[in-house]
Structure 1
Amino acid sequence: MTSITVRLIKGSMWLSLSRAVVNGLSTLSIVVLAWYLAPSDFGLVALATTILVIVTSVTDLSLSQALIRHRAPTESHFSAAWTLNATRGLLLCLFFAAFAYPASVLYEEPRLFDVMLALGLSLLMGGLTNPRLVLLQRQLIFWQEFVLSVSQKLTGFVAAVAIAVIFQSYWALVIGTLVSQATMIIVSYLVLPFRPRITFAHMKELFSFSAWLTAGQIVNTLNWRFDYLLIGKVLGGTPLGYYTVGSNLARIPTREATVPLTQAIYPSFASLQDDPARLAAAYQRVQALVTAIALPAGIGLAVVADPLVRLALGEKWLPIVFIIEALASVYALQTLGSLVQPLGMAKNQNKLLFIRDTQMLFVRVPIIFAGLMLFGLPGVIFGRVLTGLMGALVNMVLVRRLIDVPVLKQLGANARALMSVAVMAAGVMLASRYMPEAADRGGLFVELILQVALGAPLYCGSTFLLWMAMKRPAGPETEVQKILTGVLSKIRRA
């Protein structure tokens, strides 16, 4: 456990640094582009991107996960994976080009034709990425991930902002995506050299693991993307733009706070697949740490959404405040069972994950569709909150089935984080009532800083006091204490 934990923490530190840079660039990109582009521009590209994601997921081969779990992949396995991915990318590019005109007619949006033609190239490029990158994840080596992620995001950011500032066109979003994808291909071969050869060997071997995973990915993508298609068709481009930007911003703190751990945890879980006791212990430790980080990040964004949107994006984006408040909160709460995906994959229970995704699809579609038709965009948001909480509960039940950890025990491991985040949210909302109303951007900045400065110590202080009151049980606080002790020891020796 110690060896894997140390490697996981080191890998997470590299990923944390990577995500910090990428997160900063992503947030800055949204802010800059929101000033130069209209909500309808975001809606147009979101519609094309949604179709692209659905097409990609429906045909996803999940070969990376199969290679990670393979006990001894050879160069032939990697060449086979490259061949299959490249063939798939070419076919999807041709399909996307053929579907561009019918889609523009269906949504009565002529601009959609050119956007889909351009984004079709990203499908082709996506199939050319170096498959040997999975070796880095298998060995829990993540400094190369830092190079890949940062270079990819940086070039896409520069290209998108340049086009937005000069032309103020939705093409900024499209070109940024293409430049980012091209950078990924080039850097992937520089970081880990590989000369692929065309071969269709090992197809059965690779597909035997990835078949159910691919089916689950199809259902899961439909689960989380069908609402974009509905909103674009029923409400139009501008509401879809609000929904896209609001949802993306709501996801950032939770995603960026947890991706370093969740991205590193699957190889660790896979290495423990033959030791149920250690696997269960590892899951509980990492899950509690993920929740302790994600809850204050997501709930904190929800609490400060109003001054943040007014300050960063301007008054024209005020309709997304409610979206951020609702979705940031539910994203944070969903982390209570979010690690069930790598856990199920590590135990080769991909069919079970597929059944879960299918069940949630049949629950989410009617609820969100009914909310849209009855109440418009607010109905979609309420539907997502309801189904998001249901999904978190389903995940925890699934965890109990996989590693025999009861739901109440899972909640108990996260009890301090839940209570502390409630104290934080209540304290910040109460204090904000007595703050003077901001009249300009300077006032908004001061209000935002005061809320953050109050929320952080409230959460950390509450967590520490509860931990002490419970006689210092093992949990996220213990892991943080060990890390701080090690850092202080190194500082003293230096």
Structure 2
Amino acid sequence: MKDAPTEDAIPEREAPAMSVGNAAVWAMASQYVTFAIIFATSVVISRYFLGPDEVGLFSIALAAALLLAVLQDFGLTRYIAGLKQLTQDEIDRCSTVALVFSLIIAALVALAAWPLAQLYDLPQLTSLLLIIAASYFFVPFAVVPLALMGRAMRFSGHFGVSVGGALIHGAVAVTLAWLGFSAFSLAWATLASAIAKALIAQALQPARPFPLRLDGLKPIIGFGGKTSALYITGALGTRTPDLVVGKLVGLTATGLFSRATSLAEQLRMLIAGAIGQVFYPTFARIRDSGKPLGPAYLRICAGYSVLVLPGMAFLSLAAEPIVMLLYGEAWIGTAPLLTLIAIQSGLMICLPMVTELPILTGHINRLIGYNIVETVVSIGLLAVGTHLAGAEGAAASRIVYAFAFFAIYMRFISTVVGFRVMDWLAIMAKSLLVTAIAVAPLALAYAFWIGPGEMGIVPLALCAMAGGLAWCAALFLTRHPALRDMRDTGLPIYNSLRRKLLSPREAVAGDRI
């Protein structure tokens, strides 16, 4: 981006560097490549170097740091993406805010290190948290460049930053784990990754916080203050599980629970997380054009649910053979936890963007209230479940929490976005039917062929392939609404399957839609 006169708007919104389709391709490429690197790193480290107790120790440290680090973005990504016009002065001010709040986060994490080590009676937590705290010195040099590239839909830059950071993280983590650094290998890898992301982001999209701009910060601080309240309450709900399990059950259970949560989240992000980066600026454009958001939102719900629900259902059913194949016997305790957490992860995606769209449409004050209620319910259910049944109780509480999430947000988000709940339910009914058909081959294999404890990679792969074919057929048999978007993307498989599964008359009619 070239420097603009001080108060001249930078016209990247009117002439974006990428179309939505190209942005989605780059976002997916970034997600898939980053996933492959992170996933391979976790498998190698868990299978050959670190045990559940060592991973549990790092998970507690990271969860504590992330609980404080929710302020690091200070809403800047959404603030920049939501601006109708962007000036160089605004970029400079946002860069200053990013630096100030990252320094605050680094100081808070460092100050919390010793008290947390005393609370958990784990002296190593102090050093781990100090290393993680150092990584936040480099975060501000990536936050604003990424926000600018996201606003301009230039997700090729996101690809470079994400993949570069993941490569450095993986290389440092595996090397240090091999050298015997235990949980500290992951902490040093976190610091190295932050440095790499900062350098790459600045090379692709310079946005430095120097000299500091302390004038005109009121709109940024006001927006950031409200979004930070959301971040804090949201973090209490999403970051506390490892802390609660670690305190009530112990390091080994925390490691098993953390690995189950991480695996479920990685698969969810692999299936649908990449496109989510494109949605916020896309909805901002729809809002600016004056068009209704409801139809586009229901299309997202249809696409997310029909992709993620079958994937997470398969992961839930195949938890035992997957854990054995990836991590080995030492991690088998992860399997029952993964079965439950995968279900929760699949359910939650069915009502997406409950934070982003209220912010975009100016309902942030009401959103904060709903978010506080959600957080209280989440932590309460987690504490009760962990107290009653340890790590398995904690995992089971996540399913109850998913249904509570729907009860809390459904009426609010349907009013804000503008869609009928009955239309959403009709989409979910079809997605659940597609899910049942997709996982049927694996369920039948368990019943009539081979049990989960004996299933190796070949029969599991065969079941996955059969499930994929069943999923494709179910999409057409149910006339799932996501088919329209698949056709619009020009996927070759769509036209091929449509010709095979529909009658000639139906196929011609479909071309007219």
User: Structures share a fold, TM > 0.5?
Assistant: yes
Aligned equivalents of 1:352, 1:419: Cα separation in 2: 34
Residue 98 of structure 1, aligned match among 107, 111, 115: 111
2:224 alignment partner AA? S
Residue 93 of structure 2, aligned match among 74, 80, 84: 80
Matches within 5 A, 1:249-260: 249-260=263-274
- Deviation, 1:60, is 5.2
Q: Which residue of 2 aligns with 1:465?
A: 477
| 1:151 and 2:164 correspond | yes
| 1:67 and 2:80 correspond | yes
| Deviations 1:270-301, CA, capped at 9 Å, x for gaps | 12225564322221222211222211221121
Aligned equivalents of 1:387, 1:242: Cα separation in 2: 20
- Deviation, 1:160, is 0.6
- Deviation, 1:330, is 1.5
| 1:321 and 2:359 correspond | no
Residue 477 of structure 1, aligned match among 476, 483, 499: 483
CA contact (8 A) 1:338 1:395 kept: no
1:37 alignment partner, SS class: coil
Residue 89 of structure 1, aligned match among 72, 95, 102: 102
Q: Which residue of 2 aligns with 1:446?
A: 458
- Deviation, 1:16, is 0.8
Q: Which residue of 2 aligns with 1:24?
A: 36
1:360 alignment partner, SS class: helix
Q: Which residue of 2 aligns with 1:281?
A: 295
1:255 alignment partner AA? M
Aligned equivalents of 2:393, 2:252: Cα separation in 1: 16
Matches within 5 A, 1:201-220: 201-220=215-234
TM-score (norm 2): 0.88
TM-score (norm 1): 0.91
Aligned equivalents of 2:290, 2:319: Cα separation in 1: 42
Alpha-carbon distance change, 60 to 260 in structure 1, aligned in 2, over 3 angstroms: closer
Q: Which residue of 2 aligns with 1:183?
A: 196
| 1:165 and 2:165 correspond | no
| Deviations 1:341-382, CA, capped at 9 Å, x for gaps | 222122122222212211111212222211111222121111
Q: Percent identity?
A: 22
Alpha-carbon distance change, 312 to 132 in structure 1, aligned in 2, over 3 angstroms: closer
| Deviations 1:194-243, CA, capped at 9 Å, x for gaps | 34421112211112323321111100000112222221112111111111
2:141 alignment partner, SS class: coil
Alpha-carbon distance change, 317 to 16 in structure 1, aligned in 2, over 3 angstroms: same
Q: CA RMSD in A?
A: 2.3
Aligned equivalents of 2:28, 2:104: Cα separation in 1: 36
- Deviation, 1:424, is 2.0
Matches within 5 A, 1:413-452: 413-436=427-450, 444-452=456-464
| 1:48 and 2:61 correspond | yes
Aligned equivalents of 2:453, 2:75: Cα separation in 1: 52
Aligned equivalents of 2:354, 2:113: Cα separation in 1: 37
CA contact (8 A) 1:48 1:116 kept: yes
- Deviation, 1:426, is 3.4
CA contact (8 A) 1:62 1:210 kept: yes
Alpha-carbon distance change, 260 to 130 in structure 1, aligned in 2, over 3 angstroms: closer
| Deviations 1:115-145, CA, capped at 9 Å, x for gaps | 1111110122213335133222222221111
Alpha-carbon distance change, 58 to 20 in structure 1, aligned in 2, over 3 angstroms: closer
Aligned equivalents of 1:246, 1:81: Cα separation in 2: 37
Residue 365 of structure 2, aligned match among 346, 351, 364: 351
If each structure's helix is expressed as a fraction of its own residues, which one has the higher value? 1
Q: Which runs of 5+ in 2 are unaligned?
A: 1-14, 496-513
- Deviation, 1:7, is 2.9
1:403 alignment partner AA? V
CA contact (8 A) 1:78 1:132 kept: no
Q: Which residue of 2 aligns with 1:470?
A: none
Q: Which residue of 1 aligns with 2:283?
A: 269
CA contact (8 A) 1:57 1:221 kept: yes
- Deviation, 1:488, is 9.8
CA contact (8 A) 2:77 2:143 kept: no
Q: Which residue of 1 aligns with 2:502?
A: none
Residue 130 of structure 2, aligned match among 104, 117, 122: 117
1:376 alignment partner AA? G
Alpha-carbon distance change, 488 to 331 in structure 1, aligned in 2, over 3 angstroms: closer
Aligned equivalents of 1:14, 1:184: Cα separation in 2: 17
| Deviations 1:49-75, CA, capped at 9 Å, x for gaps | 111111112565212211211222222
User: Which aligned segments of 4 or more residues in structure 1 are displaced greater than 4 angstroms?
Assistant: 274-277, 437-440, 485-489
Q: Which residue of 2 aligns with 1:371?
A: 385
| 1:223 and 2:223 correspond | no
Alpha-carbon distance change, 89 to 332 in structure 1, aligned in 2, over 3 angstroms: same
Aligned residues, how many?
A: 478
Q: Which residue of 2 aligns with 1:492?
A: none
- Deviation, 1:427, is 3.4
